Amino acid sequence: MSPAGAPGPAGEKLLDVVDLAKTFPNGTRAADDVSFTVARGETLGVVGESGCGKSTTAKMVLRLLQPDRGAVTFAGTDVLRAHGRDLKEVRRRLQLVPQNPQTSFNPRLTVRSSLEFNLRAHGVARRTWRSTVDDMLVRCGLRAEQGDSYPHELSGGQLQRAAIARALVTGPDLVVCDEAVSALDKSVQAQVLNLLAELQADLGVSYLFISHDLSVVEHISDRVLVMYLGRVVEQATAGSLYRDPAHPYTRALLSSAPGAPGERIVLTGEPPDPADPPSGCTFRTRCPWVMDKCAADRPLLEVTPAGSLAACHLNLTSPPALAAPSPA
Protein backbone atom coordinates (compact mmCIF):
# COMPACT_ATOMS: atom_id res chain seq x y z
CA MET A 1 0.00 0.00 0.00
CA SER A 2 3.02 2.26 -0.28
CA PRO A 3 1.93 5.23 -2.39
CA ALA A 4 3.83 5.97 -5.56
CA GLY A 5 6.70 8.35 -5.17
CA ALA A 6 7.48 7.17 -1.69
CA PRO A 7 11.07 7.54 -0.58
CA GLY A 8 12.10 3.95 -1.13
CA PRO A 9 15.46 2.42 -0.41
CA ALA A 10 18.14 3.10 -2.98
CA GLY A 11 19.52 -0.42 -3.42
CA GLU A 12 18.17 -3.92 -3.88
CA LYS A 13 15.16 -4.63 -1.70
CA LEU A 14 16.17 -7.16 0.97
CA LEU A 15 13.23 -7.08 3.34
CA ASP A 16 9.69 -6.19 2.35
CA VAL A 17 7.08 -5.87 5.07
CA VAL A 18 3.48 -5.28 4.00
CA ASP A 19 0.53 -4.39 6.22
CA LEU A 20 1.61 -6.33 9.30
CA ALA A 21 -1.05 -6.32 12.02
CA LYS A 22 -1.13 -7.86 15.47
CA THR A 23 -3.71 -7.59 18.21
CA PHE A 24 -2.89 -9.38 21.45
CA PRO A 25 -5.55 -11.42 23.29
CA ASN A 26 -5.94 -8.61 25.85
CA GLY A 27 -7.05 -6.30 23.03
CA THR A 28 -3.79 -4.39 22.70
CA ARG A 29 -3.37 -3.36 19.08
CA ALA A 30 0.41 -3.57 18.94
CA ALA A 31 0.81 -3.23 15.18
CA ASP A 32 -1.69 -1.86 12.73
CA ASP A 33 -0.87 -2.07 9.02
CA VAL A 34 2.86 -1.59 9.37
CA SER A 35 4.70 -1.54 6.02
CA PHE A 36 8.33 -0.83 5.18
CA THR A 37 11.29 -2.08 3.22
CA VAL A 38 14.98 -2.43 3.98
CA ALA A 39 17.59 -2.42 1.20
CA ARG A 40 20.84 -4.34 1.17
CA GLY A 41 23.49 -2.50 3.16
CA GLU A 42 20.97 -0.02 4.52
CA THR A 43 20.04 0.92 8.08
CA LEU A 44 16.39 1.53 8.77
CA GLY A 45 15.82 3.12 12.16
CA VAL A 46 12.56 2.67 14.06
CA VAL A 47 11.75 5.19 16.81
CA GLY A 48 8.80 5.53 19.11
CA GLU A 49 7.90 5.52 22.77
CA SER A 50 7.18 2.45 24.84
CA GLY A 51 4.13 0.58 23.63
CA CYS A 52 4.27 1.96 20.08
CA GLY A 53 4.79 -1.52 18.63
CA LYS A 54 8.39 -1.28 17.52
CA SER A 55 9.55 -4.43 19.28
CA THR A 56 6.38 -6.32 18.30
CA THR A 57 7.11 -5.46 14.68
CA ALA A 58 10.68 -6.70 15.05
CA LYS A 59 9.49 -9.99 16.53
CA MET A 60 7.10 -10.54 13.63
CA VAL A 61 9.85 -9.84 11.11
CA LEU A 62 12.00 -12.45 12.88
CA ARG A 63 9.01 -14.79 13.02
CA LEU A 64 9.20 -15.00 16.76
CA LEU A 65 5.59 -13.85 16.81
CA GLN A 66 2.87 -14.70 14.31
CA PRO A 67 1.05 -11.64 12.92
CA ASP A 68 -2.73 -11.62 12.44
CA ARG A 69 -2.23 -10.61 8.84
CA GLY A 70 0.32 -9.11 6.53
CA ALA A 71 3.38 -10.38 4.70
CA VAL A 72 7.11 -10.44 5.32
CA THR A 73 9.35 -11.19 2.35
CA PHE A 74 13.06 -11.60 3.00
CA ALA A 75 15.40 -12.05 0.03
CA GLY A 76 12.54 -13.52 -2.00
CA THR A 77 11.35 -15.93 0.71
CA ASP A 78 7.93 -15.63 2.32
CA VAL A 79 9.10 -15.58 5.94
CA LEU A 80 5.68 -16.22 7.48
CA ARG A 81 5.05 -19.35 5.43
CA ALA A 82 8.59 -20.70 5.15
CA HIS A 83 9.28 -24.05 6.76
CA GLY A 84 11.97 -26.68 7.00
CA ARG A 85 15.18 -25.86 5.21
CA ASP A 86 13.88 -22.53 3.88
CA LEU A 87 12.98 -21.27 7.33
CA LYS A 88 16.34 -22.34 8.67
CA GLU A 89 18.08 -20.44 5.91
CA VAL A 90 15.98 -17.36 6.70
CA ARG A 91 16.98 -17.62 10.36
CA ARG A 92 20.65 -17.89 9.45
CA ARG A 93 20.48 -14.76 7.34
CA LEU A 94 18.22 -12.79 9.68
CA GLN A 95 19.76 -12.36 13.13
CA LEU A 96 19.03 -10.44 16.31
CA VAL A 97 21.05 -8.33 18.75
CA PRO A 98 18.86 -7.99 21.84
CA GLN A 99 18.85 -5.14 24.32
CA ASN A 100 20.31 -6.82 27.33
CA PRO A 101 23.25 -9.15 26.74
CA GLN A 102 23.29 -10.12 30.42
CA THR A 103 20.02 -12.00 29.95
CA SER A 104 20.54 -13.18 26.39
CA PHE A 105 23.71 -15.15 27.10
CA ASN A 106 23.54 -18.43 28.96
CA PRO A 107 25.45 -17.63 32.18
CA ARG A 108 26.79 -21.17 32.39
CA LEU A 109 28.33 -21.24 28.92
CA THR A 110 31.45 -19.44 27.82
CA VAL A 111 30.95 -16.76 25.19
CA ARG A 112 32.67 -19.06 22.71
CA SER A 113 30.21 -21.87 23.41
CA SER A 114 27.29 -19.50 22.85
CA LEU A 115 28.71 -18.40 19.50
CA GLU A 116 29.45 -21.99 18.51
CA PHE A 117 25.90 -22.90 19.42
CA ASN A 118 24.72 -20.51 16.74
CA LEU A 119 27.07 -22.11 14.19
CA ARG A 120 25.99 -25.63 15.15
CA ALA A 121 22.33 -24.69 14.80
CA HIS A 122 23.00 -23.72 11.22
CA GLY A 123 24.97 -26.81 10.33
CA VAL A 124 28.39 -25.20 9.94
CA ALA A 125 31.19 -27.76 9.87
CA ARG A 126 32.69 -28.19 13.34
CA ARG A 127 36.33 -27.86 12.21
CA THR A 128 35.75 -24.26 11.14
CA TRP A 129 34.07 -23.16 14.39
CA ARG A 130 37.16 -22.08 16.23
CA SER A 131 38.59 -19.92 13.49
CA THR A 132 35.18 -18.45 12.57
CA VAL A 133 34.44 -17.51 16.18
CA ASP A 134 37.95 -16.11 16.80
CA ASP A 135 37.76 -14.07 13.63
CA MET A 136 34.37 -12.59 14.52
CA LEU A 137 35.36 -11.79 18.13
CA VAL A 138 38.41 -9.92 16.87
CA ARG A 139 36.35 -8.09 14.27
CA CYS A 140 34.03 -7.01 17.08
CA GLY A 141 36.88 -5.58 19.11
CA LEU A 142 37.42 -8.43 21.57
CA ARG A 143 40.48 -10.60 21.98
CA ALA A 144 40.07 -14.19 20.84
CA GLU A 145 40.90 -15.46 24.34
CA GLN A 146 38.01 -13.41 25.76
CA GLY A 147 35.80 -15.98 24.05
CA ASP A 148 36.69 -18.32 26.88
CA SER A 149 35.20 -15.92 29.45
CA TYR A 150 31.84 -16.42 31.06
CA PRO A 151 29.29 -13.60 30.58
CA HIS A 152 29.72 -12.28 34.13
CA GLU A 153 33.45 -11.84 33.57
CA LEU A 154 32.92 -9.27 30.81
CA SER A 155 31.76 -5.66 31.12
CA GLY A 156 28.43 -4.56 29.62
CA GLY A 157 30.14 -3.10 26.57
CA GLN A 158 32.28 -6.20 25.99
CA LEU A 159 29.30 -8.48 26.34
CA GLN A 160 27.30 -6.42 23.85
CA ARG A 161 30.24 -6.76 21.43
CA ALA A 162 30.01 -10.51 21.99
CA ALA A 163 26.26 -10.39 21.26
CA ILE A 164 26.98 -8.61 17.98
CA ALA A 165 29.62 -11.24 17.17
CA ARG A 166 27.07 -13.98 17.95
CA ALA A 167 24.59 -12.43 15.51
CA LEU A 168 27.18 -11.95 12.75
CA VAL A 169 28.89 -15.31 13.05
CA THR A 170 26.40 -17.01 10.72
CA GLY A 171 26.94 -14.42 7.98
CA PRO A 172 23.52 -12.74 8.08
CA ASP A 173 22.23 -10.21 5.54
CA LEU A 174 20.04 -8.38 8.03
CA VAL A 175 20.52 -7.87 11.75
CA VAL A 176 17.66 -6.61 13.92
CA CYS A 177 19.09 -4.46 16.71
CA ASP A 178 16.38 -4.09 19.36
CA GLU A 179 17.56 -1.30 21.70
CA ALA A 180 21.02 -2.78 21.23
CA VAL A 181 22.92 0.16 22.72
CA SER A 182 20.32 1.47 25.16
CA ALA A 183 21.68 -0.29 28.23
CA LEU A 184 25.24 0.97 27.67
CA ASP A 185 26.94 4.00 29.20
CA LYS A 186 27.39 6.84 26.71
CA SER A 187 31.15 6.47 26.59
CA VAL A 188 30.76 2.80 25.70
CA GLN A 189 27.71 3.33 23.49
CA ALA A 190 29.83 5.39 21.08
CA GLN A 191 32.29 2.48 20.74
CA VAL A 192 29.49 0.07 19.88
CA LEU A 193 27.86 2.47 17.40
CA ASN A 194 31.22 2.86 15.66
CA LEU A 195 31.59 -0.93 15.59
CA LEU A 196 28.15 -1.39 13.98
CA ALA A 197 29.01 1.18 11.29
CA GLU A 198 32.39 -0.44 10.64
CA LEU A 199 30.89 -3.92 10.33
CA GLN A 200 28.28 -2.60 7.91
CA ALA A 201 30.97 -1.02 5.74
CA ASP A 202 33.03 -4.23 5.75
CA LEU A 203 30.32 -6.87 5.47
CA GLY A 204 27.51 -5.03 3.70
CA VAL A 205 25.01 -6.13 6.35
CA SER A 206 21.68 -4.27 6.74
CA TYR A 207 20.29 -3.18 10.09
CA LEU A 208 16.76 -2.78 11.37
CA PHE A 209 17.71 -0.52 14.25
CA ILE A 210 15.08 -0.06 16.94
CA SER A 211 15.55 2.54 19.66
CA HIS A 212 13.76 5.14 21.71
CA ASP A 213 16.87 7.34 21.57
CA LEU A 214 16.42 9.94 18.85
CA SER A 215 20.03 11.05 18.62
CA VAL A 216 21.28 7.49 18.30
CA VAL A 217 18.74 6.64 15.57
CA GLU A 218 19.56 9.78 13.64
CA HIS A 219 23.25 8.95 13.80
CA ILE A 220 23.08 5.33 12.64
CA SER A 221 20.14 5.33 10.19
CA ASP A 222 19.75 6.02 6.50
CA ARG A 223 15.97 6.14 6.78
CA VAL A 224 13.73 6.31 9.84
CA LEU A 225 10.23 5.07 10.67
CA VAL A 226 8.38 6.86 13.43
CA MET A 227 5.73 4.74 15.16
CA TYR A 228 2.91 5.79 17.45
CA LEU A 229 0.39 3.43 19.01
CA GLY A 230 1.01 0.59 16.57
CA ARG A 231 1.10 2.66 13.41
CA VAL A 232 3.79 4.16 11.23
CA VAL A 233 3.12 7.90 11.33
CA GLU A 234 6.13 9.08 9.38
CA GLN A 235 8.86 7.65 7.21
CA ALA A 236 11.73 9.75 5.92
CA THR A 237 15.43 9.84 5.29
CA ALA A 238 17.28 10.49 8.53
CA GLY A 239 18.47 13.90 7.41
CA SER A 240 15.10 15.23 6.34
CA LEU A 241 13.26 13.76 9.34
CA TYR A 242 15.40 15.63 11.81
CA ARG A 243 15.66 18.79 9.70
CA ASP A 244 12.08 18.95 8.55
CA PRO A 245 9.73 16.68 10.52
CA ALA A 246 6.27 16.52 8.94
CA HIS A 247 4.05 14.69 11.41
CA PRO A 248 3.00 16.59 14.56
CA TYR A 249 4.06 13.65 16.71
CA THR A 250 7.55 13.61 15.20
CA ARG A 251 7.79 17.34 15.80
CA ALA A 252 6.76 16.96 19.42
CA LEU A 253 9.12 14.02 19.94
CA LEU A 254 12.09 15.91 18.51
CA SER A 255 11.29 19.08 20.38
CA SER A 256 10.79 17.37 23.73
CA ALA A 257 14.18 15.69 23.73
CA PRO A 258 15.97 17.65 26.47
CA GLY A 259 18.34 20.16 25.01
CA ALA A 260 16.58 20.24 21.63
CA PRO A 261 16.80 23.62 19.92
CA GLY A 262 13.77 25.76 19.26
CA GLU A 263 10.47 26.05 20.99
CA ARG A 264 9.27 22.95 22.79
CA ILE A 265 5.96 21.43 21.79
CA VAL A 266 4.63 20.12 25.07
CA LEU A 267 2.23 17.25 24.59
CA THR A 268 -0.43 16.95 27.21
CA GLY A 269 -1.11 13.57 28.74
CA GLU A 270 0.37 10.26 27.79
CA PRO A 271 -0.19 7.78 24.98
CA PRO A 272 -3.73 6.34 25.21
CA ASP A 273 -4.43 2.72 26.09
CA PRO A 274 -3.42 0.66 23.04
CA ALA A 275 -6.31 -1.71 23.80
CA ASP A 276 -8.72 1.13 23.16
CA PRO A 277 -7.09 3.46 20.63
CA PRO A 278 -8.88 6.67 19.59
CA SER A 279 -10.89 6.61 16.36
CA GLY A 280 -9.46 8.15 13.22
CA CYS A 281 -5.95 9.38 13.89
CA THR A 282 -4.60 7.73 17.06
CA PHE A 283 -2.53 10.80 17.86
CA ARG A 284 -5.46 13.22 17.82
CA THR A 285 -6.00 13.12 21.61
CA ARG A 286 -2.59 14.73 22.18
CA CYS A 287 -2.15 16.70 18.97
CA PRO A 288 -1.96 20.49 19.28
CA TRP A 289 -3.18 20.81 15.66
CA VAL A 290 -6.23 18.54 15.96
CA MET A 291 -9.18 19.15 13.60
CA ASP A 292 -12.70 17.69 13.36
CA LYS A 293 -11.65 15.49 10.48
CA CYS A 294 -9.04 13.70 12.63
CA ALA A 295 -11.64 11.86 14.72
CA ALA A 296 -13.57 10.67 11.67
CA ASP A 297 -10.94 9.61 9.15
CA ARG A 298 -7.80 7.64 9.66
CA PRO A 299 -5.01 9.48 7.82
CA LEU A 300 -2.98 7.28 5.48
CA LEU A 301 0.69 7.67 4.67
CA GLU A 302 0.98 10.27 1.91
CA VAL A 303 3.96 11.88 0.26
CA THR A 304 4.69 15.21 1.88
CA PRO A 305 5.96 18.26 0.04
CA ALA A 306 9.37 17.54 1.57
CA GLY A 307 9.33 14.10 -0.04
CA SER A 308 8.78 12.07 3.13
CA LEU A 309 5.74 9.97 4.00
CA ALA A 310 3.46 11.13 6.78
CA ALA A 311 0.04 10.04 8.01
CA CYS A 312 -1.57 13.38 8.83
CA HIS A 313 -4.49 15.31 7.40
CA LEU A 314 -2.55 18.55 7.78
CA ASN A 315 -0.13 17.62 5.03
CA LEU A 316 -2.88 17.85 2.48
CA THR A 317 -4.03 21.30 3.48
CA SER A 318 -0.91 23.08 4.68
CA PRO A 319 2.24 24.31 3.01
CA PRO A 320 5.39 22.21 3.55
CA ALA A 321 6.88 24.31 6.33
CA LEU A 322 4.16 24.23 8.95
CA ALA A 323 4.39 27.45 10.84
CA ALA A 324 3.40 26.52 14.37
CA PRO A 325 -0.29 27.40 14.46
CA SER A 326 -1.54 28.82 17.69
CA PRO A 327 -3.02 25.90 19.61
CA ALA A 328 -6.11 28.02 20.33
Binding positions for another protein, rule: CB under 8 A? 49-50, 155-158, 185-191, 193-194, 197-198, 201, 212, 214-216, 218-220, 242, 252-253, 256-259, 263-264, 266-267, 270-271, 324, 326
Measured from the CB atom, is 144 or 193 closer to another protein? 193
CB 226 within 8 A of CB 250: yes
Measured from the CB atom, is 108 or 186 closer to another protein? 186
Beta carbon of residue 45, minimum distance to another protein (angstroms, whole number): 12
Measured from the CB atom, is 66 or 326 closer to another protein? 326
Dihedral, CA of residue 240, residue 244, residue 249 and residue 250, to nearest 10? 40
Beta carbon of residue 47, minimum distance to another protein (angstroms, whole number): 10
Q: What SS3 state is found at 104? A: helix
150 DSSP assignment: -
Beta carbon of residue 133, minimum distance to another protein (angstroms, whole number): 22
Beta carbon of residue 201, minimum distance to another protein (angstroms, whole number): 7
Measured from the CB atom, is 131 or 215 closer to another protein? 215
Q: What SS3 state is found at 185? A: coil
Beta carbon of residue 4, minimum distance to another protein (angstroms, whole number): 30
Report the distance separating Cα 15 and Cα 38, nearest Å: 5
Measured from the CB atom, is 77 or 255 closer to another protein? 255
Beta carbon of residue 69, minimum distance to another protein (angstroms, whole number): 28
Q: Can you give the length of the chain in residues?
A: 328
CB 21 within 8 A of CB 51: no
Report the distance separating Cα 154 and Cα 3, nearest Å: 48
DSSP H helical ranges for the chain: 54-61, 84-93, 101-104, 111-121, 129-139, 156-168, 186-203, 214-220, 238-243, 248-256, 292-296, 314-317
Measured from the CB atom, is 89 or 218 closer to another protein? 218
